[in-house]
Amino acid sequence: MRHFVDLFSKLKEGDLRGNVFGDFLFRKDEIGVLGRAFQGLTESLRSQIASLKETGISLKLLAERYTV
């Protein structure tokens, strides 16, 4: 459980680099469910942030084009 506490603490601070240890992901109990849910959450957040960054870059380029 300490591993999950560390991951959630880092997530709370905005650090999305953490991953659940593989052993936890393959467990068949509640710990495995929690591990897979956390991993899915962080992967989804990473993807959404990457998409927002791309959108921001596109908007910046578009604004620069029409500001000239």
Looking up residue 60, the CATH number of its domain turns out to be 1.10.8.500
Residue 67, pLDDT score: 82
Residue 21, pLDDT score: 87
- pTM exceeds 0.85 for this model: no
Domain ranges, residue 42: 2-67
Pairwise CA distance, residues 38 & 29, whole Å: 14
Residues in the chain: 68
DSSP assignment letter at 29: S
Burial letters 14-39, b for 16+ CB under 10 A, else e: eeeebebeeebeeeeeebeeebeebb
pLDDT at residue 44 is higher than 70: yes
Query: What is the band of 6 on the pLDDT scale with cuts at 50, 70, 90?
Result: very high
Per the model's pLDDT, the better-predicted residue between 22 and 57 turns out to be 57
Number of structural domains in the chain:
1
Pairwise CA distance, residues 37 & 10, whole Å: 16
Residue 68, pLDDT score: 66
Residue 29, pLDDT score: 95
